[in-house]
Amino acid sequence: MKSFDAIVIGGGQAGPFLAARMVEKGMKVALIERKFLGGTCVNAGCMPTKTLVASARAAHVARSGAVYGVNIPGEIAIDMKVVRARAETVTMNARNGLIGWFAGMDGMTVIYGHARFEDPKTVSVNGETLTAPRIFLNVGARPVIPDLPGINDIDYLTSTSIIHLDTLPRHLAVIGGSYIGLEFAQMYRRFGAEVSVIEHGPKLASREDEDISDAIADVLRSEGIDIHTGVSDIAFSRNSDGTTVATDSARIDASHVLIATGRKPNTDDLGLDAAGIVTDKHGYITVDDRLATNVDGIWALGDCNGHGAFTHTSYNDFEIAAANLLDGDDRKVSSRILAYALYIDPPLGRVGMTEKQARASGRKIMISTRPMSRVGRANERGETKGFMKVIADAETKKILGAAILGIEGDEVIHGIVDAMNAGTTYPALQWSVPIHPTVSELIPTLLGDLKPV
């Protein structure tokens, strides 16, 4: 049996950085990764997909050149092999960077294999047994495949497999109208495929307020994406050229099908029962406000704990654990103000409460909205789709949440993210003097237009 000061299972966006901090403190650490260092973000999520989004935007801008007085003769052609290779290069650079970083660390042992608990202090991997007083789980999540009629009879894609396509689908059917599905829908439409989005719920991006969901749908429809919402029945069958997707309202002849109906944690084959670790009904590991499981000496970080399915929340889990265990701090998950983005174009930047959540909280609230058509920078760039929205507490003057669906919305939202984390009241933020011409310069104006509801 090999002994370590700590064992980290999973090489995502929390565990490896915590392992590096512990090594800096002179600890002996084993990092066990089943497949690739970097987790979903590096290998099948943010980095490859946003690289693909960039290629799709380049195609869209090229096709729109005449509007700006830039005439490009001939048809804009997409070389999917180059598109795929570019995304793979970005992934491999990041992954190899992590491999090289850890290889140079004395005290770090990287093991590739499938880890399972033998007891609360012991795990087995590749026929070896390892033990440590502290064990950290950062095992991530994977796509959910729903039990739909005929699904096992077709060759479907997931968010993991679609990034390896090097040919252009004739018609891509996207099952699921949430964040992952919508990003791929617009991306492949811009590459030149016909695209249909099929969503069970009444709205796209159901987590958002209805006005945001409707605006997202308008953006996608304006680019020729076919959207079906409120679909109660879906069935699949093979045809001579791919797959027939039959719903209660339409039949779609698709060459490719992307299943984007959610994700589930990678916790079902870790031997959690042997360690006595408790999970909820969805398989997420139950943790307290400091990320500790019910078993002393075991913590769960990142997607597998159900407290955020984003790279930045996973990394923040690392920050919380490191601060509490190594720096004598007392940081809590409940102190985190959730922010995220939807990377369609224009992007959606979101932070804090939605209007629906704010109204349900019983607070006296104020709301302000501003269309992007009234933002100078958006007009100069010719990108006026979407709008800005902010919700504030009428009594405390604190900002409760915001949504910016529009040009650079994923960056602009950080002005409000920072203000909320600093506890700044909206009247104080109104006195900032932003740079002109930017999208961010409209934040004080947006706040000045807050009205009670």
Q: What is the pLDDT of residues 18-62, one digit of tens each?
A: 999 999 999 999 999 999 999 999 999 999 999 999 999 999 999
Do the first three CATH levels of 2-141+264-335 and 151-261 match, i.e. the same topology?
yes
Binning pLDDT at 50, 70 and 90, where does residue 168 land?
very high
Percent of the chain topping pLDDT 70: 100
DSSP E strands, 58-210: 108-112, 116-119, 122-125, 128-131, 134-137, 141-143, 171-175, 194-198
pLDDT tens-digit series, residues 176-223: 999 999 999 999 999 999 999 999 999 999 999 999 999 999 999 999
pLDDT tens-digit series, residues 103-124: 999 999 999 999 999 999 999 9
Q: How far is CA 247 from the centre of its chain?
A: 28
The CATH T-level fold of domain 339-452 is Enolase-like; domain 1 (3.30.390)
User: Residue for token digits 């002996």?
Assistant: 28
Average pLDDT over residues 152-168: 97
Q: Which residues pair with 405 in a beta bridge?
A: 348, 387
Mean pLDDT of the chain: 97
Buried b (16+ CB within 10 A) or exposed e, 293-319: bebeebbbbbbbbbbbbbbbbbbbbbb
Buried b (16+ CB within 10 A) or exposed e, 406-417: bbbbbebbebbb
Question: What CA–CA distance (Å, rounded) separates 402 from 367?
Answer: 9
The backbone torsions φ and ψ at residue 418, rounded to the nearest 5 degrees and listed phi first, read: -65, -40
Q: Is the CATH code 3.50.50.60 the one for domain 151-261? A: yes
Instruction: Report how far apart, in Å, the C-alpha atoms of 50 and of each of 76, 163, 352 are.
Output: 21, 11, 24
pLDDT tens-digit series, residues 57-76: 999 999 999 999 999 999 99
Helix, strand and coil percent figures for the chain, each rounded to 5: 35, 25, 40
Question: What CA–CA distance (Å, rounded) separates 284 from 308?
Answer: 11
Tell me 47's DSSP state. Answer: H
Average pLDDT over residues 220-232: 97
Nearest alpha-carbon partner for 133 in 328, 300, 298:
298
Average pLDDT over residues 318-324: 98
Tell me 374's DSSP state. Answer: G
The backbone torsions φ and ψ at residue 362, rounded to the nearest 5 degrees and listed phi first, read: 85, 0
Domain spanning 2-141+264-335: CATH superfamily: FAD/NAD(P)-binding domain (3.50.50.60)
pLDDT tens-digit series, residues 443-453: 999 999 999 99
Q: Which residues pair with 298 in a beta bridge?
A: 135
Q: Which residues pair with 31 in a beta bridge?
A: 8, 110
β-strand 194-198 against 226-228: which pairing, if any? parallel
pLDDT of residue 76: 93
Measured between its terminal Cα atoms, the distance across the chain in Å is 64
Query: Domain extents for the chain?
Result: 2-141+264-335, 151-261, 339-452
Kindly report the CA angle at 181 between 175 and 186, in degrees rounded to 5? 115
Question: What CA–CA distance (Å, rounded) separates 65 from 284?
Answer: 47
pLDDT of residue 24: 97
Question: What CA–CA distance (Å, rounded) separates 249 from 416?
Answer: 41
Nearest alpha-carbon partner for 399 in 350, 359, 352, 331:
352
Average pLDDT over residues 257-265: 97
Q: Which residues pair with 30 in a beta bridge?
A: 7, 109
pLDDT of residue 376: 97
**What number of other Cβ atoms are within 10 A of residue 341's Cβ?**
18
Q: How far is CA 74 from the centre of its chain?
A: 36
Which residues are tagged catalytic?
A: 436
Using the predicted structure, report yes or no on whether residue 383 has a pLDDT greater than 90: yes
- Side-chain-side CA neighbours of 184 within 13 Å: the count stands at 35
This model's pTM is above 0.75? yes
Using the predicted structure, report yes or no on whether residue 249 has a pLDDT greater than 90: no
Residues 116, 124 contacting (CB under 8 angstroms): yes
pLDDT tens-digit series, residues 344-365: 999 999 999 999 999 999 999 9
